Amino acid sequence: MQEFLAMAFDNYCKVNGYENSLETINEWLNSKDANNRRAVSEGLRIWTNRPYFKENPQKAINILSKYKTDESEYVRKSIGNALKDISKKHPELIKNELMNWKLETNAITQVYKLANKLLEK
């Protein structure tokens, strides 16, 4: 069911326009329901293959990075993997983002390690 929710969310954004959907994206990412938050991060993967985010990769990075401390490990893994995906085409942007992170908690460190995985090589 989770994958269907993610696909439906992406389809909504596609039909509505990704830039026009920014308010809804942020609304869902701020949901109390971890399944809704994950539907956004997974549904829009690979974020920088989507119109608007393709031209504005930093916007995708900014949105995703806000959730590095999400209470749900399930969501944090999705966030880290989405950032890792972006690092394939935009390694410098992800490096710059990660340089500013303070690895103060296990949650942030977990997301950092996932996002940094391809950059370590």
Does 87 fall in a domain?
yes
pLDDT number for residue 107 = 97
pLDDT at residue 121 greater than cutoff 90:
no
Does 104 fall in a domain?
yes
| Average pLDDT for the chain | 96
Residue 74: domain span: 2-116
Does 121 fall in a domain?
no
- What is the per-residue pLDDT across 3-24, written as a single tens digit (0 to 9) for each? 899 999 999 999 999 999 999 9
CA distance 60 to 48: 7
Positive or negative torsion for Cα 66, 7, 81, 47: negative
Does 62 fall in a domain?
yes
Output Rg (C-alpha) for the chain, integer angstroms. Answer: 13
- What is the per-residue pLDDT across 36-68, written as a single tens digit (0 to 9) for each? 999 999 999 999 999 999 999 999 999 999 999
